[in-house]
């Protein structure tokens, strides 16, 4: 709803007509628009329903943020997520300003037949889970704040914040929590599903550094969850994604980190792919925890020559970096090499995408406990380029501290993974793009890879994963996840995620 326009006109009217102050304040908190039409919508389980205009107006009045309907200023921007292939139109978008707004939106969705509900933080979902057609989107993007207590080495981060916001605030004190590699990714989606990144081998996944969370659950309560309080909810939120509610606050433990690490990219010609994969298979599993190295093999569009690259971050003493990097440098003469002492926050921004919505993206992914010669050969010998797409295989480095956590200690079960392998296609998004052909290519390529993988990272999930595969992916943690789901979301209000199906009748 056009709240700003409303405020402007209310204030202008007040100035001319000299409305007594108590009336002006009353006007500010009244329903913002009286003429809201009834709107057709859909519930989470696919039933059609009509939302009454009066109820919608009341919800708008309950929010400190904005409620947007189709046609309102800001609606077209707010409904978008990063991947332009998902072009959905929610019936309502609640742009929430705080936890009270989240509670109001969740109450509304639950009390209106279990309205289809999507939750958007950074909007990076590969499965389009943060938007929906004809349901409600809770858009957390106005709800961004980071508070740091340097003495206690803690950071409190609100549910709509982006990774770069946290790095920026904590590194001002030489403190850090481990996050992902692209700074415009949302804390909300990344941290509830795991959180792999440049410091993961040293400090673990993002979830391993959580002290507590606050969650708005399906019944509209705001719950504090930690190892001592609501411990099953705390366990489930660390790897179970958005299944149990909307996390409005994350409390992280922080680690000291020097301002500069040694990082950057080194690129080699495609001819070294076999040697690079063989080296990575051995050394990748053994590297010091301070070294993080992602390997990628990329075939660019337009027939450009392919490249093999390592994106690295060495966070130990600078003097030890070259020794740690020696096996990578020994691969031969690089095409380019920008690895140097670099500000950590700048390195965290170095993979940011200027215009992400210009590119359609599809990926397949799976965890590897080891990088076998068979997988290396499929990558080195079987990847096919295309004039109109980027074709890439990448390995996000795992192991180290990530693998030293008991698989049952958090809902994230894949602790034995040494690599998160991704097969990615990207094409210029537009009506003429042959998206299906690019997606089909990757599906075909992945058929040969999949038997070598064991499970997948839910944050890299695409829509064509079956419910059976999702359930199996939670491994031995699935049963406990169902119990937590039954307790906190028995009607499956929060279903747009790697969904844990409740088994109780609500």
Residues that bind ligand FAD (CB under 6 A): 81-82, 119-126, 129-130, 140, 159, 180-182, 185-186, 188-190, 192-197, 241-242, 246-247, 459-460, 496-497
We find the least distance from the C-beta atom of residue 433 to ligand FAD, in angstroms, to be 18
Query: 328-345: buried (b, 16+ CB within 10 Å) or exposed (e) per residue?
Result: beebeebeeeebeebebb
We find the least distance from the C-beta atom of residue 57 to ligand FAD, in angstroms, to be 26
| End-to-end Cα separation, the chain, in angstroms | 33
- Cβ proximity to ligand FAD: between 23 and 357 the closer is 357
Query: Closest Cα partner for 130 from 97, 82, 92?
Result: 82
Query: Closest Cα partner for 101 from 62, 68, 46, 132?
Result: 62
How far apart (Å, rounded) are the C-alpha atoms in residues 271 and 184? 33
We find the least distance from the C-beta atom of residue 399 to ligand FAD, in angstroms, to be 14
We find the least distance from the C-beta atom of residue 58 to ligand FAD, in angstroms, to be 25
Phi-psi region of 287 (alpha: psi -120 to 50; beta: other; left: phi over 0): beta
How far apart (Å, rounded) are the C-alpha atoms in residues 492 and 45? 9
- Cβ proximity to ligand FAD: between 197 and 204 the closer is 197
- Cβ proximity to ligand FAD: between 170 and 497 the closer is 497
We find the least distance from the C-beta atom of residue 127 to ligand FAD, in angstroms, to be 8
- Cβ proximity to ligand FAD: between 213 and 328 the closer is 213
The answer to whether residues 14 and 7 touch, using CB atoms and an 8 Å cutoff, is: no
We find the least distance from the C-beta atom of residue 260 to ligand FAD, in angstroms, to be 21
The answer to whether residues 115 and 496 touch, using CB atoms and an 8 Å cutoff, is: no
Q: What share of the chain is helix, strand, coil (3-state, %, to 5)?
A: 35, 25, 40
- Cβ proximity to ligand FAD: between 24 and 42 the closer is 42
Task: Find how far residue 283's CA is from the centre of its chain.
Answer: 29
We find the least distance from the C-beta atom of residue 94 to ligand FAD, in angstroms, to be 13
- Cβ proximity to ligand FAD: between 192 and 391 the closer is 192
- Cβ proximity to ligand FAD: between 334 and 399 the closer is 399
Residue 477 token pair: 């943690």
């Amino acid at each position: 709803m056009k709240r700003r326009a409303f405020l402007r006109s209310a204030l202008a009217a007040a100035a001319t007509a000299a409305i007594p102050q108590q009336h002006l304040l009353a006007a500010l908190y009244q329903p913002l628009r009286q003429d809201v039409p009834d709107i057709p919508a859909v519930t989470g389980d696919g039933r059609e329903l009509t939302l009454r205009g009066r109820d919608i107006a009341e919800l708008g009045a309950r929010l400190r943020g904005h409620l947007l309907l189709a046609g309102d200023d800001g609606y077209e921007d707010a409904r978008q997520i990063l991947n332009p292939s998902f072009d959905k139109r929610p019936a309502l978008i609640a742009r929430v300003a705080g936890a009270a707004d989240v509670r109001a939106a969740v109450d509304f969705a639950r009390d209106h037949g279990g309205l289809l509900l999507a939750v958007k933080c950074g909007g990076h979902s590969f499965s389009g889970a943060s938007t929906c057609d004809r349901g409600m989107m809770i858009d957390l993007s106005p709800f961004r704040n980071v508070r740091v207590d340097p003495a206690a080495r803690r950071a409190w981060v609100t549910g709509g914040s982006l990774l770069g916001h946290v790095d920026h605030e904590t590194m001002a004190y030489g403190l850090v929590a481990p996050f992902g590699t692209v700074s415009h990714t949302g804390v909300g989606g990344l941290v509830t599903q795991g959180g792999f990144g440049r410091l993961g081998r040293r400090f673990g996944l993002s979830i391993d550094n959580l002290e507590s969370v606050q969650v708005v659950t399906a019944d509209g309560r705001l719950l504090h969850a930690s190892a001592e309080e609501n411990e099953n909810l705390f366990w489930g939120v660390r790897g179970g994604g958005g299944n149990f509610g909307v996390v409005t606050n994350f409390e992280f433990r922080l680690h000291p980190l020097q301002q500069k690490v040694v990082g950057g990219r080194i690129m080699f010609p495609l001819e070294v792919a076999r040697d690079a994969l063989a080296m990575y298979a051995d050394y990748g599993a053994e590297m010091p925890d301070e070294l993080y190295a992602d390997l990628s093999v990329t075939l660019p569009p337009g027939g450009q020559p392919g490249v093999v690259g390592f994106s690295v971050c060495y966070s130990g003493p600078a003097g030890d970096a070259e020794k740690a990097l020696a096996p990578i440098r020994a691969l031969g003469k690089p095409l380019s090499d920008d690895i140097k002492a670099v500000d950590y926050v700048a390195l965290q921004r170095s993979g940011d995408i200027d215009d992400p919505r210009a590119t359609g993206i599809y990926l397949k992914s799976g965890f590897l406990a080891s990088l076998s010669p068979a997988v290396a050969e499929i990558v080195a010998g079987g990847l096919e380029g295309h004039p109109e797409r980027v074709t890439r295989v990448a390995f996000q480095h795992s192991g180290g501290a990530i693998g030293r956590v008991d698989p049952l200690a958090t809902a994230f079960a894949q602790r034995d993974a040494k690599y998160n392998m991704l097969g990615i296609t990207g094409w210029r998004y537009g009506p003429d793009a042959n998206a299906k052909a690019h997606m089909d290519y990757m599906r075909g390529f992945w058929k040969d890879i999949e038997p070598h993988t064991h499970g997948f990272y839910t944050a890299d999930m695409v829509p064509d994963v079956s419910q059976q595969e999702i359930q199996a992916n939670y491994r031995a943690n699935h049963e406990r996840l169902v119990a937590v789901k039954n307790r906190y979301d028995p009607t499956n209000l929060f279903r747009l995620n790697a969904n844990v199906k409740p088994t109780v009748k609500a």
